Amino acid sequence: MTTRIDSRFAELAREGRAALVTFIMGGDPDLETTLALLKALPAAGADVIELGMPFTDPMADGPAIQAAGLRALATHTTLAKVLKLAAEFRKADTATPLILMGYYNPIYVYGVPRFLTDAKAAGVDGVIVVDLPPEEDSELCLPAQEAGLAFIRLATPTTDDARLPTVLAHTAGFVYYVSITGITGAATPDYSKVAAAVARLKRHTALPVAVGFGVKNAENAAAIAKVADGVVVGSALVDALRKSLDANGHATAGSVAAVTDLVREIAAGVRSAAHQPA
């Protein structure tokens, strides 16, 4: 199974640079703004897009993404509507990898077979479901792979060498390395430790390793891009969007640009760390 994710990482490896993976929350602050952002992100420098599925209890997320999910839920964003956003995006963009990220509960309620069928039809390439451990692979991971969707697993600083083979067994697309012990957007990672962690992961897998949690600017992105195959940024983009909203939490004329301007800045940081491929 080769997905757009595999093709994109392979293409960037040939170019000698890391991928910029960007996260936005579906429906934050409304569906129209999310769709405008989805369409604008690739031109701003996003190589891969993660689209959040809002959930009431996002236990791995920090205040920024928690608030984004609540804003999305307040405007009645559902998983079905997020899938429609994906389908609309895919009509005009057939190349950019699109990943749905969130928690298992909304998928379980929607129905796994229906979700996988609809996600594939919408042009989704993979899923990140942070609260499904490898012991529950039969719930979603294995059916997703059978449906042609990559199931992307997270590894953390506390995932030791004994645990890694289990975590990586059915992972596809890339490995998402969580660079800090904690919630999203909470702290800046120690880059010397990130380099060692990426090297350790690569001893266990041939998959690309993308690093996230704590990337806020071009400098952070460049530091990670020097040692990893991908740089993931989410909370900083979600926060930039929040700051652009009006007093009632509604999008303004500057909302899309607030996000894409930051993406351009971070993309420049990622590209500054490019090297000649071996």
Q: 209-233 burial by CB neighbour count: b if 16+ within 10 A, else e?
A: bbbbbbbbebebbbbbbbbbbbbbb
| Catalytic site residue from 61, 118, 125, 239 | 61
Q: Any catalytic annotation for residue 6? A: no
* Tokens linked to 145: 């792979």
Q: Any catalytic annotation for residue 50? A: yes
Spell out the alpha helix ranges (H) of the chain: 4-15, 31-44, 63-74, 79-92, 104-110, 112-121, 141-146, 164-168, 191-202, 218-225, 235-244, 255-272
Comparing CA positions, the residue from 55, 74, 75 lying closest to residue 65 is: 55
Q: Indicate the SS3 state at residue 51.
A: strand
| Catalytic site residue from 28, 30, 47, 50 | 50
Strand order in the sheet with 150-151: 150-151, 126-129, 98-102, 48-52, 19-25, 230-233, 209-212, 175-178, 154-155
Residue at token pair 């490019």: 274
Residues with active-site annotation: 50, 61
